[in-house]
Structure 1
Amino acid sequence: MAEFSDYIVYVDESGDHSLTSIDADFPVFSLSFCIVKKTDYIGSVVPSVQALKFKYWGHDSVVLHEHEIRKSKGDFTFLLTDKVVREAFYEDLNQMMVDAPITIVASVIDKLKLKAKYLTPRNPYELALHFCLERLLMFLNDNGQTGKRVHVVFECRGKVEDAELELAFRRIVDGAMHWGWVKRDFSVMEFEPKFAKKSVNSTGLQLADLTARPIAIKTLRPTQPNRAYDVILTKMGQIKEFP
């Protein structure tokens, strides 16, 4: 068995990957890989997220979820009642992301353009996954991780969905899926997908969750002010828009 990588990767998505029913208001699918060095994760990332939770809730069982934060739902209803506290929370949240020693690799698929360009388009999730894995491979090689075993953590979506995703993941890293561009030699790394339930309260998955939608929104509405994206951009290793 290969030596464990110094890095771990957390993944989240925004939008759905259906090509048969496309939301006209959100016709994109984005996938975000949050890459973090394990020593930084233990020493800096987790403590800063825990500190934010203790400051605003007094406990750390809260799950940071972009949708609920944006809609001020669930544990985030307090954002509706006090403007001063709301502004302070967003300032602290943004600063936490600014300070986080992470690298973001992302892919955005415009599903309408994809269907218009190809007679039999590929599954948007598989396309985005392939693009992100390619760039992850380059990042790991550039950072001395060749030959090591890296875990890529996804949030559980359901038994069938997780099985399909794992199959697509393994086909990509086994070299069975390549579509005309330069083939990457994934065999120089050992990639291992892992699936975690939201209930495990993974700090890494929560950080990834905060990144996927702002990246999608930047693609949809590039001129719209997007403070979250401005922060994410400072962490961006690669972003691929397709087609």
Structure 2
Amino acid sequence: MSFDACLSGSRFLAFFDECGDHSLVKINPQLPLFLLCTVIVDRQAYAEHVIPAIGAFKLRYFAHEGINLHSRDIRKAEGPFTILQNAAVRERFMTELTELIAGMPVTVFATAINKNGFVARYGHEARNPYDVALEYSFERVLHFMEAQGEAHLPVIAEARGKQEDDALRASFYNLLSQGTYYNGAERFRKLVCPISFRRKNDNIAGIQLADLCAHPIARQVLRPGEANRAYEVVAPHIYQSGRVNGLKVFPK
């Protein structure tokens, strides 16, 4: 089987999105963290359930399925989501969106970097939060893949610009070739994870799911005492196997 055929026949697909920025120079006091969210889904379930379900949901509210379910626009009722300024429509929309996410056959991995604590601990030696989040997340993804007996995992990330994408691609392949402090290179090198970047207007359902999961998790990390209905829906999807938890917060 050729390399391309092997990847097109992989059992799982992975999708990245993020919440917050990774700057350590200007830290937003309203969102002083960077969170990387990874959603893994069985390819067949993605084709037969995820894509049709998301398309059907959109068509209940919009004239076409090309609308991108972007959590920020939904929260602020901006762009095509100005319809949510109507309280009754918003309540119905959010209830159905919650039910949609609850029924998604996905496994979620998320790493949140507390930027103030990160800078306080490492100072000028602090690494790029994206790189750190990638390592912690993929240590857990590695555990998942080994448990499933799978090695091939195409990764689709949201494009952020050529320079940023090139830097992430380099960091990602360095991780796969060098491993981490706790997980050696010999384990990571068994994974075959080509990464590709798609923009929001490509309307990738998996990236939208990662986006919709990322913000509730970030809110939960920042304000764990607040009511967070969206997180309650996402939480059951977060990977948990023995002592391995798919949600990592660093530093605590």
Q: Distance in 2 between matches of 1:25 and 1:59?
A: 34
Unaligned runs of 5+ in 1: none
SS at match of 2:189: helix
Q: Distance in 2 between matches of 1:236 and 1:88?
A: 26
Q: Distance in 1 between matches of 2:210 and 2:183?
A: 28
Q: Distance in 1 between matches of 2:198 and 2:176?
A: 21
The AA in structure 2 aligned to 1:159 is K
Q: Distance in 2 between matches of 1:140 and 1:172?
A: 16
Where in structure 2 are the equivalents of 1:157-172 lying within 5 Å?
Answer: 157-172=160-175
Shift of 1:144: 2.0
Whether 1:26 aligns to 2:31 is: yes
Q: Are the counterparts in 1 of residues 33 and 114 from structure 2 also a CA contact under 8 Å? A: yes
Q: Distance in 1 between matches of 2:113 and 2:199?
A: 25
SS at match of 1:31: strand
Where in structure 2 are the equivalents of 1:177-188 lying within 5 Å?
Answer: 178=180, 180-183=181-184, 185-188=187-190
Shift of 1:143: 1.2
String of CA shifts for 1:126-158, please: whole Å, max 9, x gaps.
000111111111111111213xx3111111110
Q: Distance in 2 between matches of 1:136 and 1:192?
A: 14
Q: Distance in 2 between matches of 1:52 and 1:219?
A: 29
Where in structure 2 are the equivalents of 1:7-86 lying within 5 Å?
Answer: 7-81=12-86, 83-86=87-90
Shift of 1:116: 1.1
Q: Distance in 2 between matches of 1:33 and 1:80?
A: 30
Whether 1:242 aligns to 2:212 is: no
String of CA shifts for 1:182-230, please: whole Å, max 9, x gaps.
4361111111111011111111111111011111111111111111111
Paired residue for 2:117, among 113, 117, 132? Answer: 113
Shift of 1:38: 0.5
Q: Distance in 2 between matches of 1:23 and 1:90?
A: 27
Q: Which runs of 4+ in 1 moved over 4 A?
A: none
Q: Distance in 1 between matches of 2:184 and 2:225?
A: 35
What TM-score do the two structures reach when normalised by structure 2? 0.91
Q: Distance in 2 between matches of 1:183 and 1:29?
A: 25
Paired residue for 1:87, among 85, 91, 98? Answer: 91
Unaligned runs of 5+ in 2: 240-245
String of CA shifts for 1:78-113, please: whole Å, max 9, x gaps.
1112x2221111111000001100000000000111
SS at match of 1:50: helix
The AA in structure 1 aligned to 2:201 is S
Q: CA RMSD in A?
A: 1.2
The 1:144–1:182 alpha-carbon spacing in structure 2 relative to 1, beyond 3 Å, is closer
Q: Distance in 2 between matches of 1:229 and 1:106?
A: 12
